[in-house]
Amino acid sequence: MGKRFNIAADCKPHLHFMVNIDGRLAQIKEMVDNGDYFTINRARQYGKTTTLKALARFLAGDYTVLRLDFQQLSHRDFETEHFFAGAFCRVLMNKYGAKGMIPDKILERMQQFSQELKMAPTLRGLFECFHEWCQIAPKPLVLMVDEVDNASNNQIFLDFLAGLRNGYIDRDESPFFQSVILAGIYDIKNLKQKFVPDGGHNWNSPWNIAVDFCVDMSFSPEDIAGMLLEYEGCYQAGMDVAGMAGLIYDYTDGYPYLVSYICKMLDEQIAGNGSFLDRASAWTKEGVVRAVSDMMKRPAALFDDMKKKLEDYPELRNMLYAILFNGREFPYNPDSQAFDIGTMFGFLKEAEGKAVVANRIFEIRMYNYFLSEDMLKQLDCPLPSFEKNQFIRDGFLDMDLVMEKFLEYFTDVYRESDARFLEENGRRLFLLYLRPIINGVGNYYVEAQTRNATRTDVVVDYHGRQYVIEMKIYHGDSYNRRGEEQLAGYLDAYHLEKGYLLSFNFNKNKKAGIKTVACKGKQLLEVVV
């Protein structure tokens, strides 16, 4: 069986199509050579374990690398320092004892610790072993600990960090690890939020010797293209490699799991299914749209975790909701807990000094999540009743009819509504209306650069065809003309001849309706509600 795209656990070069990360490994090795202690904290399924395993191989010529995973320890192992020190020794012995990597005198002492026969293991005794081992080892030692989030007792873990800190500070007097690398979702500062039972915060950390980890672990379009070229070499799909890489990047912003998920869907689910008769027809723009649509309907641990985090952190949830539906702009502030948590989980990123949703896939999933909540709660939003097949012509979306029917629906249901309610919820109401029409076949997303309190551009992908709808609050004719010109320019960027302008007009003497206008060589269908 040939190589496959992988979205489960770590990637293995002989089994999976992978991005070449040698450049990243070289950057990390420079940090190790410098004697840095640091944390690789990235969002869930961001390639941390794959990177650590590859890094261990990359460093093997110059260092003795000890790589542990805190998932190998049980909850009981974190209850006391005796349990923790003994379990730590057992993991080291099981992994490296038979390979002859542990000196005999160190191995004997660890065996005593692990069996708890001659002495009760302590953190102090564990660190004495480390110091002695580092002194007699033929090559400098590097310690890697994965899944540090699994540390389930605050004080024991903080004491362990304190021991690492002390060893680092006293390295000139007593040999210690060349480098220590911790990996997990939470950084050390935020990890402790999990341990404070009353919801308070304890930000002081003994891990203040750690340097910033600035290596970009996301995949660039060039990274993705390299992986696709390897795939092409195996299967000759005939794809436009650069074009496909750019399109996948547009949806994922290089989030490793999402990149691999789309590729896996195209290879294993889309190709040979329905109208996608072979790999050549699957590895196209239309195939990517279909893959993303299918992803939105499937459960996945990453998306389940997103939902849980939005429920666990209401301040973050409210911020994301305001960004998506109200066009609120939040200056990026890493000192804010909501920003810090959102960035750490991979939901937010900084763009031009503002906090924005990290990628298009997350944005679509969040829109679906929030809109599903609203539909279930029926929040002042009687849902339209229609046969969605009426909006399909020859397999494509009849966006003119979609806009016409929305005007009727909005006028019938909301003409007597409070203006403030409509101003705050108009765009949400349109997306609630649109979602069941395209659900299962198409996607929609909002362009971050146009999303603000006065303007939002929604791009709908349906069977490989795109439609751009600008939604805005009406602020007079001159403002409206600027909106027409902006939309015409945006259509140029998408190589489209027709666009849609949806204006929410809250003037008492407004004239609702629909008309077609020409602007800069483009045709615009304007709807005023």
pLDDT at 228: 98
pLDDT for 189 equals 61
Residues 6+ apart with CB under 8 A from 198: none
Domain residues of the chain, as ranges? Answer: 22-195, 221-298, 384-529
The SS3 assignment for 519 reads strand
Question: How many angstroms from the chain centroid is the CA of residue 364?
Answer: 12
Contact 476, 493 (CB under 8 A): no
- Which pLDDT tens digit goes with each residue over 351-407? 889 999 999 999 999 998 998 887 766 555 566 666 778 898 888 899 999 999 999
Q: Which helix (H) or strand (E) holds 294?
A: helix 285-297
Place of tokens 């009687």: 382
Question: Superfamily assignment of 22-195 in CATH?
Answer: P-loop containing nucleotide triphosphate hydrolases (3.40.50.300)
Contact 306, 313 (CB under 8 A): no
User: What's the rounded Cα separation, in Å, for the pair 509 and 529?
Assistant: 12
Tens of pLDDT along the chain (529 residues)? 689 999 998 999 999 999 999 999 999 999 999 999 999 999 999 999 999 999 999 999 999 999 999 999 988 888 889 989 999 999 999 999 988 899 999 999 888 877 654 557 899 999 999 999 999 999 999 999 999 988 866 788 889 999 999 999 999 999 999 999 999 988 776 555 554 444 444 445 678 899 999 999 999 999 999 999 999 999 999 999 999 999 999 999 999 999 999 999 999 999 999 889 999 999 999 999 899 989 998 889 999 999 999 999 999 999 999 988 888 889 988 888 899 899 999 999 998 899 999 999 999 999 989 988 877 665 555 666 667 788 988 888 999 999 999 999 888 887 777 767 777 778 888 888 888 888 777 888 887 666 666 667 889 988 878 999 998 887 777 777 888 888 898 898 888 999 999 988 877 667 789 999 999 999 999 998 8
Between CA 427 and CA 4 the distance in angstroms is 41
d(CA 125, CA 130) in angstroms, rounded, equals: 9
Joined together, the tokens standing for residue 427 give: 């765009």
Transcribe 391-407 into DSSP letters.
Answer: GEETTEE-HHHHHHHHH
**239/286 Cα distance (integer angstroms):** 12
Neighbours of 375 (CB within 10 A): 14
Can you give the pLDDT at residue 389?
A: 81
β-pair type (348-351, 354-357): antiparallel
Contacts of 421 (CB under 8 A, 6+ apart): 380
Three-state DSSP at 40 gives strand
Tell me what pLDDT residue 56 has.
Answer: 97
Tell me the whole-structure pTM to 2 decimals. Answer: 0.89
Q: With the CA atoms of 136, 140, 145 and 146 taken in that order, what torsion angle do they form, in degrees rounded to the nearest 10? A: -140
Strand partners, 467: 460
Helix, strand, coil proportions of the chain in percent (round to 5)?
50, 15, 35
Q: Quick one: pLDDT at residue 198?
A: 46
Output b/e per residue, 466-501; b: 16+ Cβ within 10 A: bbbbbbbbbeeeeebeebbebbbebbeeeebeebbb
3-state secondary structure of 93: helix
